[in-house]
Amino acid sequence: MKTLDVSEYLDLESRSLDALAPRQRILKTASELFYRNSIHTVGIDRIIAESGVAKMTFYKHFPSKANLAATYLRHKSALWFDMLATATEQAGPAPLDRVLAIFDALNASFQAPTFRGCPFVRGLAEFGPDAETPEVQATLAAYFHDLRKFVASLVQPLKLKNQESVVVQILALIQGSLVNAQAMRGGVEPLATRDAAKVLLEAAVQRG
């Protein structure tokens, strides 16, 4: 089964449904429906109808709903890491500023009217350890592994003695920020979380 590369995922966001090939039309439609509602509440028939493809075409590209769900999560992961990479690169060379840029990027995403929380946290709730969807669970695990690796790469230049502990704490602030932003729309929580991350990092640098 073909896996879209990052450029193709980004292309889905910029092009209209009519301008896409059938596979991309299915994925774009499913991504919008899954994120706006949930994976479990959106049926295949609705995706087929709204994407404008035949049922045979759907199953040619996605043999199961679980396969489509995993592809959707990879799509979201590609967009998320592209956003983080752009934000941290624009922050400049200072390591502390690069870590804090994560929270600036989050704050910007929270302002979007389409924000519905973290698709990966929601995915964990929908596909628990007893779910018989190994591809979905592997995709979720890969996302959280990659996020930890990304944060660690930003923290590493600070040369902290307790680097691993700081990475875990930053990850907790990121996930907490996402959940709270979904629960408290319009609040000041994202900026408060950035301030908490700054205090944490500055204290860790002072300790060496």
Average pLDDT over residues 175-179: 92
**In this predicted model, what pLDDT tens digit does every residue of 41-99 receive, in sequence order?**
999 999 999 999 999 999 999 999 999 999 999 999 999 999 999 999 999 999 999 99
CB 171 within 8 A of CB 148: yes
pTM of the model: 0.90
Using the predicted structure, report yes or no on whether residue 183 has a pLDDT greater than 90: no
Mean pLDDT of the chain: 90
CB 151 within 8 A of CB 167: yes
Q: What is the model's pLDDT at position 3? A: 47
> Domain-by-domain residue ranges, the chain?
6-207
Give the residue from 29, 26, 24, 30 showing the smallest Cα distance to 11: 24
- pLDDT level of residue 2 (50, 70, 90 thresholds): very low
Give the residue from 76, 84, 183, 81 showing the smallest Cα distance to 140: 76
**How far is CA 163 from each of CA 81, 98, 151, 155, 170, rounded to the nearest angstrom?**
21, 16, 10, 7, 11
Average pLDDT over residues 150-177: 96
Q: Please give the residue that has the higher pLDDT: either 154 or 11.
A: 154
Cα 177 to its chain centre, rounded Å, is 13
Q: What is the model's pLDDT at position 14? A: 75
Between CA 127 and CA 69 the distance in angstroms is 10
**How far is CA 160 from each of CA 82, 95, 169, 198, rounded to the nearest angstrom?**
26, 12, 13, 15
- Helix 95-110 with 134-155: angle, nearest 10 deg: 140
Range 144-150 contact pairs with CB under 8 angstroms and sequence separation of 24 or more = 144/120, 146/77, 146/81, 147/171, 147/174, 150/81, 150/84
Determine the CATH number of domain 6-207: 1.10.357.10
Percent of the chain with pLDDT over 90: 75
Using the predicted structure, report yes or no on whether residue 188 has a pLDDT greater than 60: no
Contacts of residue 54, defined as CB under 8 A and 6 or more positions apart, other chains included, come to 48
